[in-house]
Amino acid sequence: MTTVGILGGGQLARMMALAGAPLGLRFLVMDTSDEACAGQFVPMVVGDWRDEQALAEFASRVDVATFDFENVPAESAEWLAARIPVFPAPRALRIAQDRLAEKTLFNELGIGTPAFAAVETRADLEAAVARIGLPCILKTRRLGYDGKGQFRLKTPADLDAAWAALGAQAGKVGLILEAFVAFERELSVVAVRGRDGAFRAWPLTENWHRDGILSASMAPAAGVAALMARALDHARELAEALDYVGVFALELFVRDGQLLANEMAPRVHNSGHWTLEGAETSQFENHLRAVLGLPLGSTDAVGASVMLNWVGAMPAATPVLASPAGHWHDYGKSPRPGRKVGHATLRAEGCSALADALQEVAVALQRQDEFAPVLARLRDSG
C-alpha cells in the first residue's frame, strides 16, 4: 500500500487524506505542532522543519511527499527531494514563497501583474512610491498570507507608519511594494498537472474576501467566458515553466476586461474547496492522482456551487444541513480570531436554485450582509 507524506498538518492535509482513502492510500503528516488537525485522523511526525532527524524519520516512512503548507522551508523540501520523490518540485515552492520572484516569473511569461518594486531600505520605499504612485501596498516578500504582513499606503503620511510596521522585516524576508488594484472581480484558476504533463483546470472561480481572508467562492464564475481561455493559458504556461506536478491556484484580478495575476499557491487551495461536492473530481483527489502518476480525473463542474468559509468560530450547522443543497465541513480546530475553522458548500442545478438556498442559509445564520455580494451575482446570473 502506498504511503503519501504531507508536509503540513492543517485542514488541507486532512481533506487530502480523506479524499485518498477510497484510493487505498495511507498517509503520514509532518507538522511542527502536535495539535495539527490532520493528526486527528492521520499518523504524525512532529518536529521542526529544519530538524534532519525528524525529516529522515518522515522520509523513511513514505513513498512520495507533497505539501499542504507553502511556508515549509525550501531547503527542507530539497533535502527530502534528494531522498524521495517530492511533488511539486522544491523550485516551485521556492518561487511561490517569494512575492518578488513570483511576480518576476509572471512577467517573464507574459502574465500581467500590478506594478511592483523590491524594497530593502526606507530610501527604496520612497523611490518605489514615487515610481508606482499612491495608493499602494507594502508587503513582506515571504511568509505573509490571509492579509498578514501587509500595509496599505493611501497618502505620503503613511510611509512612516508602513516602515514602522514592516521595515524590520526588510532585512529578514525582504519587502515588495505593489500598486493597489481597483479591481472589479477576484477570480482564481485551480488547475492540476500530472507527472506526464497532462493539464486540466476546474471552471474559473469568483472569490470574495473579508479582512484579507476568503469569505466565499462561487463556481463556475458567471460572465467570464471571454476571460476563461486567457486565464487557463496563463495557468498552463506557469505549470509548464515550473514543470509543476499537482494542484495549484493562480489568483487573478479583473480590471477593465484585463487579467492581472496576484499570486500563486503551490498546493490545493481554499477557493477550490467547492470541488469536493461540485466537481466530478475534487482538487484533493486530483492532487493525489497527479503526485502518484495516476490518470487525472474530470474537472467538470456538477451544477453550480458556493463555498462559505467559516473563520474564527463555527456557526450553527443546522441551517446548512437542513438545506437540500448543503454540505458541512468542520476542521476540528479550536476557535480563534482569524482562523479558518471550517466551510460549507451549497450546490444546486443552477444559479437561481443556488441563490434561494444561500438566501435561506444567510438569513438563518444572520449573515445577509456578508453574503449579499454573492447573492447579487447569483441573482444576476440566474
3-state SS string over 259-321?
Answer: EEEEEEECCCCHHHCCHHHHECCCHHHHHHHHHHCCCCCCCCECCEEEEEEEECCCCCCHHHH
Structural domain including 157 reads 115-179
- In this structure, the chain runs to a length of 382
273 in the same domain as 144 = no
296 in the same domain as 232 = yes
219 in the same domain as 363 = yes
Establish if 162 belongs to a structural domain: yes
Distance between CA atoms of residues 298 and 302, nearest Å:
11
Q: Which helix (H) or strand (E) holds 6?
A: strand 3-7
**Final residue of a domain: which of 40, 68, 86?**
86
221 in the same domain as 120 = no
- Cβ neighbours of residue 258 closer than 8 Å, sequence gap 6 or more: 112
The model's pTM is 0.95
**Final residue of a domain: which of 127, 153, 179?**
179
Distance between CA atoms of residues 218 and 238, nearest Å:
24
CATH number at residue 55: 3.40.50.20
Residue with cell 435561506: 360
146 in the same domain as 67 = no
Establish if 143 belongs to a structural domain: yes
Distance of CA 359 to the CA centre of its chain: 26
Residue 171, pLDDT score: 78
What is the grid cell recorded at 229? 481561455
Establish if 219 belongs to a structural domain: yes
Distance between CA atoms of residues 74 and 97, nearest Å:
8
Distance between CA atoms of residues 175 and 158, nearest Å:
16
Residue 161, pLDDT score: 92
- Cβ neighbours of residue 104 closer than 8 Å, sequence gap 6 or more: none
194 in the same domain as 175 = no
CATH number at residue 143: 3.30.1490.20
Residue with cell 518578488: 100
Query: What are φ and ψ of residue 27, in 5° steps?
Result: -135, 150
Establish if 65 belongs to a structural domain: yes
151 in the same domain as 207 = no
Distance between CA atoms of residues 377 and 184, nearest Å:
13
CATH number at residue 214: 3.30.470.20
Establish if 105 belongs to a structural domain: no
Torsion of the alpha carbons at 275, 313, 252 and 168, rounded to the nearest 10: -140
**Final residue of a domain: which of 164, 179, 194?**
179
Residue 147, pLDDT score: 57
Name residue 372's amino acid. Answer: A
Positions in the chain short of pLDDT 50: none
Express each pLDDT in 31-68 by its tens digit.
999 999 999 999 999 999 999 999 999 999 999 999 99
267 in the same domain as 166 = no
- Cβ neighbours of residue 119 closer than 8 Å, sequence gap 6 or more: 125, 128, 138, 170, 174, 175, 176, 177
212 in the same domain as 147 = no
Number of domains in the chain: 3
Establish if 102 belongs to a structural domain: no
Residue 146, pLDDT score: 55
81 in the same domain as 129 = no
Distance between CA atoms of residues 240 and 217, nearest Å:
26
159 in the same domain as 134 = yes
Residue 339, pLDDT score: 96
Rg (CA), the chain: 20
65 in the same domain as 161 = no
Establish if 109 belongs to a structural domain: no
What are all long-range contacts of 279-287, with beta carbons under 8 Å and residues at least 24 apart? 279/202, 282/19, 283/190, 283/192, 283/202, 283/247, 284/12, 284/15, 284/16, 284/18, 284/19, 284/20, 284/247, 285/19, 285/20, 285/23, 286/192, 286/200, 286/247, 287/16, 287/66, 287/192, 287/246, 287/247
Establish if 223 belongs to a structural domain: yes
Q: Shortest CA distance to 205 belongs to which of 239, 251, 161, 156?
A: 251
- Cβ neighbours of residue 371 closer than 8 Å, sequence gap 6 or more: 216, 308, 358, 362
